[in-house]
A and B are shown apart, each in its own frame.
Chain A
Amino acid sequence: AQSVSQHNHHVILSEAASLELGCNYSYGGTVNLFWYVQYPGQHLQLLLKYFSGDPLVKGIKGFEAEFIKSKFSFNLRKPSVQWSDTAEYFCAVYNQGGKLIFGQGTELSVKP
């Protein structure tokens, strides 16, 4: 079965540290890729998306992600995290069959 895997369940960083959250998927065809963020007590909202073109995409709040097709990966990065980035982050992959699959989520805690 197709799946999306987020390697880190809980990441704890200090402010100003760099962040990289891993996301790998198992589908071999063309995909659309998303990162959603859920701040404490809030609903999910879009952080960034990749449909085609430049594999390095930039999202809101200084986040970016790189699509590496050969590695089936779409890792999320931020050079310097802030306390306000504390949230849960979800990777999601849409395949051509019309299915959007979410990863298990990564909880990020940023210490001030």
Chain B
Amino acid sequence: EAQVTQNPRYLITVTGKKLTVTCSQNMNHEYMSWYRQDPGLGLRQIYYSMNVEVTDKGDVPEGYKVSRKEKRNFPLILESPSPNQTSLYFCASSKPIRQGASGANVLTFGAGSRLTVL
């Protein structure tokens, strides 16, 4: 089954304790992205990756890191989590997104990871 898998689904941690949220897709998608979802703010993009070893900042990258060493995986790293990073996180992937008309593709989302930082 084509899917995006995130782990962990739920995590409670404390300020400053490094954590990684993994994301893996089995669709051979080039494009991957991380979003955070907060009430009243919708989905905001944290980082995205056009392909292996190509990553770029989204709208809210502060406090996060990513890597794309292989096509299927796109982990989100919080080096020193803080309470304002308490949120619901979604990973998504798609075929290539290019500039220009009709450059978008449909995103496949993971189930989400609910993170609480105390």
Within B80-116, which residues are at the interface with A (CB < 8 Å)?
90, 92, 97-104, 106-107, 109-112
Q: Tell me if B42 and A105 are in contact (CB < 8 A).
A: yes
Q: Tell me if A43 and B112 are in contact (CB < 8 A).
A: yes
Q: Name the A residues within 8 Å of B100 (CB-CB).
A: 96
CA distance A9 to B104 in the complex (A): 26
Among A90, A100, A105, contact of B104 (Cβ-Cβ < 8 Å): A100
**Most chain B beta-carbon contacts within 10 A, residue among A30, A43, A102, A105:** A43
Q: Name the B residues within 8 Å of A8 (CB-CB).
A: none
**Tier of interface size on chain B:** 20 to 34
Q: Name the B residues within 8 Å of A98 (CB-CB).
A: 97-99, 103
**Tier of interface size on chain A:** 20 to 34
Within A1-60, which residues are at the interface with B (CB < 8 Å)?
6, 9, 30, 32, 34, 36, 42-46, 49, 51-52
Known contacts being A43-B90, A49-B106, is A90 close to B101, with CB within 8 Å?
no
The dominant DSSP class at the A interface is loop
Contact indicator per residue, chain A 77-112, by CB within 8 Å of chain B (1) or not (0): 000000000000010001011101011110000000
Q: Name the A residues within 8 Å of B44 (CB-CB).
A: 102
Q: Min CB distance, A46 to chain B, in Å?
A: 5
Q: Name the B residues within 8 Å of A36 (CB-CB).
A: 107, 109
CA distance A32 to B97 in the complex (A): 11
CA distance A95 to B101 in the complex (A): 8
Contact indicator per residue, chain B 66-80, by CB within 8 Å of chain A (1) or not (0): 000000000000000
CA distance A46 to B109 in the complex (A): 9
CA distance A6 to B42 in the complex (A): 10
**A residues adjacent to B (C-beta < 8 A):** 6, 9, 30, 32, 34, 36, 42-46, 49, 51-52, 90, 94, 96-98, 100, 102-105
**B residues adjacent to A (C-beta < 8 A):** 35, 40-45, 90, 92, 97-104, 106-107, 109-112
